Structure 1
């Protein structure tokens, strides 16, 4: 069985002839344009074949051990979900903790302490250095009550399959999305 690097090298040698015109350079006339186009098409074809080869190779690892219902297949298929598993963490005293509740508490305590300040001494100087981006006129526009027409316009702009309702379902049943107090047209 050939290893991955050997497979990659042998496969690259198969389509290296497609790169020869690219490396040699093309004429700037119309025939050069057609040569570039044909070479690009041929190179894309070989790259697609290489992609297919790698997909088939990964599946062959599963199939050589038996059919898809084998323990080998399920172990490989579910191993992806275990990559980001945190089995434990060291606490403040350097002890390894594996209990889920303790691990959660360690994370919460760490980030609470990280994002908490204790009476900053140069707070006024920091605030003076920050220049406002939202001016008073903009702020008054942002904090005023929404008008029904604005809400209706915003609802019309939403894509029906992405803006879910309060029940978690898309509002496909009513494409004219009604405002509270309005009757539904049937």
Structure 2
């Protein structure tokens, strides 16, 4: 009788071993899937943080560009900065750095900022060049954000006259475009606004 029970016990042991192996494999697969999900969530959180840093840097540069243009438009020496706009498709230098006039046909001057291999330093001015502004505390970026201002339409003759007795015609509309970077130049944010000083 004992001889007849032994094959059944061996067969039951093999089934138990197979069941335990299958359960162990399922636990390992569930643990690997959970780890993968946690790592993906961490990567998404890091990417969102880097994007937020780039956005805040671009926002600071946009505010700086707007403040620069508004200050230049209201100062008595407005003609030093805003009177001489470059030729269409070109950007100014010196006191007119960051001031551009769009080409009649073709891409805007800030278009190269969108390419990953572009030299972003070739266009625009860095944050604080004319206003002395600085990045807010906690900005974890090595590259300063930049901005560029483009005249959108021509102002009438006599705009921005420094003499308050002279009727001042309205200033032209100006588009300010700013780029901010995250911890590396690969993470970028681009913002625009249109102002009329």
TM-score scaled by length of structure 1: 0.23
* Higher strand proportion: 2
* Higher helix proportion: 1
